[in-house]
Structures are given as structure tokens and as C-alpha cells.
Amino acid sequence: TICSCIRRWIFAYSALRLDRRLGLAQEAERLAAAHPGVAPLPEGPEVVVVVHAGRIPHRVTESIVVPGGQGFPVRLSLPGLTDGGGGRRRVVVRAAGRAAEATAISLAAAARADLEQARARDMARLVARAVAKEAMARKARRDGGEVAGLLVRAVNIATEVADTRCWEALPAACHLARLPLGDAGGTVVVAADGAPVWQGRVSGPGPIHLVKVRLF
């Protein structure tokens, strides 16, 4: 999830700073290699900027039609993904005289990987549905005649849909950046593809200040 990604990302910063402070060079190198782009910041207040960009591809029904019993077609449906879009952005954050390019986490890629991982399960469900519906049609034809069998087949093809449940409101990508803010706070500017999309003054108590921006 987005929240778990952000927690792991912030933890990596904090753990890397602690390892270097304690002189744990090997552990610091391992952590830095596991989280590219993560580097410890100077002591003091910091701003964490989270930019949600685009919209995650959502699931749709993809169908093929094959010949079935009684000359009636059979529709077979599996879940697929729309193209989505808007997640590929170059996000740069500026604060307290510093600038940092945000690290991007692709939720669209995670959605596609999840769909591929579930492909075998979806195929098994598809076969089970097709077998059950064919058995229903044959029973209806046997008990009620030709018309009854055709009616059940018509209902089967009309109701054949894949499991398209998904989180349609999630962004296609999550961009994360972290910068020192200074004790008195300061102005934070967020730019996407070279154009400013958010600007504001950030200050107040606490070591970490969170700024969230939504782009479509």
C-alpha cells in the first residue's frame, strides 16, 4: 500500500542516519544499497513531500467468444487492465535553499504484477465457471427441452463477467522527497515536469512535516 511504502522509505532514512552515527559502516552500506537515493539529512526539522500522480490502471473484463453446445456461443472472460496514465512525472522539491528530485514508486507496475501473479487462479475460476454453466444448460435442455436449454445459455453469456474489483482511486505513482527545513521553517516549492504545482510555507512543532500533493 502507499502508506507502507512511505513508512519503509522514512524508516530507511532514519535507520541510515542512526547506523552512520553509531559507526555501523557495513550496515549503512547495506541499507543504502537496498534503498537507492536514500541519504541521511542534517539534524533538525525536515519536510517530507508525497506527490500522488495519475490514476492507477483499473480492472476491466476482457472476453473471447467460442462455439458452444446447441450452436450457441460461449463467452469466456478474464480480468485485464486499462492503460491508466499520468504517473510518469519528474518531481523536484525545493526548500531552505536545497533541491531534491523525488523518488518514484510505481503503483501501476505493482497492479500489473499482481494481475499476472493471479492469472493462474483466474484461469482456474474461468474453467470452473464454464463447466458449471455448461452443466446447467445441458440439464435445462434435458429437463425442459430445446428452448429451455437455449434460454439458459443466453443467460450464461449475458452474465459472464470477470472479477474486476480493484482500487480505482489510487494514483499511478507515488513520488517521495525529503529535505531539511531549518529551525524556523521555510517555503516549500513542488514542481512537476518543470512547472510549479504547489507552494507554501511549512513550519510548526515536530521534527518531520508532511506535505501531500495530488496530480491527475
Dihedral, CA atoms, 172, 178, 179, 182, nearest 10 degrees?
A: 120
Q: Which string of b and e fits 165-198 if b means at least 16 CB within 10 Å?
A: ebeeebbbbbbbbbbbbbeebbebebbbeeeebb
Residue 162: predicted pLDDT: 85
Q: Taking a C-beta distance cutoff of 8 angstroms, is the pair 113, 105 a contact?
A: no
Please determine, for residue 12, whether its predicted confidence score (pLDDT) is greater than 50: yes
Q: Taking a C-beta distance cutoff of 8 angstroms, is the pair 101, 89 a contact?
A: no
**Mean pLDDT, the chain, as a whole number?**
80
Residue 106's alpha-carbon distances to 59, 63, 74, 89, 177, in angstroms, are 17, 27, 37, 11, 15
Assign 89 a pLDDT band (cuts: 50, 70, 90): confident
Query: How many other CB atoms sit within 10 Å of the CB of residue 97?
Result: 9
- What value does the mean pLDDT take over residues 8-29? 53
Residue 24: predicted pLDDT: 47
Length of the chain: 216
Please determine, for residue 20, whether its predicted confidence score (pLDDT) is greater than 70: no
Residue 200: predicted pLDDT: 92
Please determine, for residue 21, whether its predicted confidence score (pLDDT) is greater than 60: no
Residue 19: predicted pLDDT: 45
Query: Taking the mean position of all CA atoms in its chain, how far away is CA 55?
Result: 9
Q: Taking a C-beta distance cutoff of 8 angstroms, is the pair 48, 208 a contact?
A: yes
Planar angle of CA 83, 85, 89, nearest 5 degrees: 145
- What value does the mean pLDDT take over residues 129-143? 89
Residue 204: predicted pLDDT: 73
What is the pTM for the complete model shown?
Answer: 0.68
Please determine, for residue 46, whether its predicted confidence score (pLDDT) is greater than 80: yes
**179-192 pLDDT per residue, tens:** 888 776 789 999 99
User: Of 13-27, 159-173, 180-194, which gets the smallest average pLDDT?
Assistant: 13-27
Residue 175's alpha-carbon distances to 47, 96, 108, 151, in angstroms, are 14, 20, 13, 52
Residue 27: predicted pLDDT: 56
Question: Distance between CA 49 and CA 17 in Å, rounded?
Answer: 19
Residue 198: predicted pLDDT: 94
